[in-house]
Amino acid sequence: MELHERLTEARKQAGFESAREAADALGVPYPTYAGHENGSSGFRADKGEIYAKKFKVRFEWLMRGTGHMKDLATKYREILLTYDSLPPDLQETYADVLRKLAAPYQQPELDPARPQAKAKSSSE
């Protein structure tokens, strides 16, 4: 994905439906922002910092395409804030949904009664 494509993706995930809407929110002239987004002109790191902050994406992802789009710590805070804002009777349901979503990514728990295999050293 090219820089201008990541910028477009960041804008859309931030909830800005159009480049004009984003340019207005950023205080950037529309032709300047549109050029950045359509790829007819690039932009430097100082603009990338502004765009990343406004669109709540990681600067490294926006500028280089490395790592996750979103800062995972920020995402986790959003999840916890949502949880805290729910009435107590819905919190357990929300927690169950999160557990099911996380299950494929969790490491299996070790059984303390079962001896663990030792890793072989390179000298063996």
Encode burial over 64-101: b for 16+ CB neighbours within 10 A, e otherwise: eeeeebbbeeeeeeeeeeeeeeeeeeeeeeeeeeeeee
Which fold is adopted by the domain 1-92? 434 Repressor (Amino-terminal Domain) (1.10.260)
Lowest mean pLDDT among 8-12, 84-88, 112-116: 112-116
Higher confidence at residue 119 or residue 77? 77
Question: Whole-model pTM above 0.75?
Answer: no
Q: Where are the domains of the chain?
A: 1-92
Q: Which two tokens stand for residue 6?
A: 């990541």
